[in-house]
Amino acid sequence: MIHICKDGLLKTKTVYERLEFRCKTNKNSKVPALVSKPNLFCSPFKPVPHPDYPSPWLTVSYDDFFKLVKACAYVIKRRFDLPPQSRIGVISNGLPINVLIIYALWYSRCTVVGIPPKLGNDVKQFWVKNLDVNMIFYESNSISFFEEEKQKELNKSNKWIWDWQYPLQEDEYDLSAGYKGIPMFCMNNEEFCEEIYQCSLEGKSYTCPGLETDAVQIVGTSSSSQAIIKNGQASKMKFIPLNSTRLSVFQHLVVSHPNYSPRVFINIPIYHMMGVQYGLCHIMNGGGALIFPTKSLQNNVFVPENFLDDFVDVKPECCPLFPFHYSEIKKLFDENHPRCEIWKKAMV
């Protein structure tokens, strides 16, 4: 458990200051920032075992994580040269690479728009239009836009344009994405990830300090995720902009428990408001391990037996869940599943 300086963290006013506080506080620290089964880690991560977690769980330390984040920001700056406060879409099922990209975008003073992978492609494009998104980073296992072979080639490319499905209206000609379509980039592109790793070894980094008033994350609501597209027009959508002071359960974790840096087991999407507050921002604000559940890269389905077995392995201290999660877990206990006693002991 990491002991943090409450006063120091509370004095930070911007997402940059908060990131830098956490980075400097944990410099050379081998305390885990990310914990996962091997299949969820891709390059540029070089995860290692840790005595607090049984095999096959692997970890990435705070020190290594922030070196990769700053190197990633450097590579993004060199490749895309995004202006400060660019709105950048991110599409992923919630993987370690997803967290890395978002932290790098925050260091670049960009505003992240978390776009749910399961949204219809037409709805995704209207998110881009309504929020004036510059470009989208996507994770190739979480989403596909075309048939398999074409998509594989696009994933390997430097950057490609996703054509607008509906012709732009006259008042949309000056969208930041561009007249032709939306610039797209695969975040787990092998060449890109290897470049990040090499830059981290060379100590290369990029940061862009921002303002307290900066919107650093934009979250959708039911009106935007359930939007109806008809005749090239979308129903009204609402979004919630967040600044750094609203990015976590800050009051509970830092003010009420200044020396409490829990292991957070994240089973909810990190593009959801609750996922942003409890999961995505935990490394920066909470200071403990962010643990990913057992799952496949392509499938984000909640399996209660897997969840409970993971609970036994990783012994989390914080585990945000939706009501349907509780219902499925309760059903296993009501039916006296053979592993109930083992699960109960882990939860005490």
Other beta carbons within 10 Å of 321: 16
* DSSP 8-state class, residue 164: -
pLDDT digit string, tens, across residues 313-346: 999 988 999 999 999 999 999 999 999 999 999 9
Residues in the chain: 348
Q: Which residue has the tokens 């692997």?
A: 58
Determine the pLDDT at residue 226: 92
Residue 244: what residue type? S
Copy the structure tokens of residue 194: 């290897």
Stretch 29-51: mean pLDDT, rounded? 97
Q: Rounded mean pLDDT of 215-243?
A: 93
For residue 246, what pLDDT band results from cuts at 50, 70 and 90? low
> pLDDT category, 257, cuts 50, 70, 90?
low
| Domain extent listing, the chain | 6-301
- Phi and psi angles of residue 346, each rounded to the nearest 5 degrees, phi first: -70, -25
Q: What is the pLDDT of residue 254?
A: 61
What the block records as the tokens of 87 is 């709105």
Q: What is the mean pLDDT of residues 112-133?
A: 96
CA distance 267 to 292: 7
Strand 217-220 to strand 32-36: parallel, antiparallel, or no bridges (unpaired)?
unpaired
Q: How confident is the model at residue 136 (pLDDT cuts 50, 70, 90)?
A: very high
Q: What is the pLDDT of residues 139-193, one digit of tens each?
A: 999 999 999 999 999 999 989 999 999 999 999 999 999 999 999 999 999 999 9
Backbone phi, psi, residue 270, to 5°: -85, 0
Beta-sheet pairing, 32-36 with 290-291: parallel
Model pLDDT, residue 158:
86
Whether 309 shows a pLDDT value over 60: the answer reads yes
Q: What letter would DSSP give residue 258?
A: T
- Distance separating alpha carbons of residues 245 and 258, to the nearest angstrom: 16
Residue 77 has pLDDT above 90, yes or no: yes
- For the ranges 118-122, 273-277, 289-293, which has the lowest average pLDDT? 273-277
What is the pLDDT averaged over residues 19-24? Answer: 94
The residue-averaged pLDDT of 43-56 equals 98
**Lookup: tokens for 135:** 């470009």
Three-state DSSP class for 325? Answer: helix
| Residue 262: pLDDT band with limits 50, 70, 90 | confident
Query: Which of 11 and 194 is assigned the larger pLDDT?
Result: 194
Specify the CATH number of the domain 6-301.
3.40.50.12780
Confidence bin at 286 (pLDDT 50/70/90): confident
Q: Parallel, antiparallel, or unpaired: how do β-strands 290-291 and 58-61 relate?
A: unpaired
State the CB neighbour count (10 A cutoff) for residue 204.
17
The yes-or-no verdict on residue 47 having pLDDT over 90 is yes
User: Which residues lie closer than 8 Å to 268 by C-beta, 6 or more apart?
Assistant: 274, 275, 278, 279, 320, 321, 322
pLDDT over threshold 60, residue 4: no
Which amino acid, residue 78? R
A 10 A CB-CB count for 231 gives 5
Q: Is the predicted pLDDT of residue 222 greater than 90, yes or no? A: yes
Q: What is the DSSP letter of 50?
A: B
Q: 59 near 105, Cβ under 8 Å?
A: no
Q: What is the mean pLDDT of the chain?
A: 92
Provide the pLDDT for residue 43. 98
Q: What are the angstrom distances between the C-alpha of 338 and each of 11, 59, 138, 295, 328?
A: 50, 30, 40, 22, 16
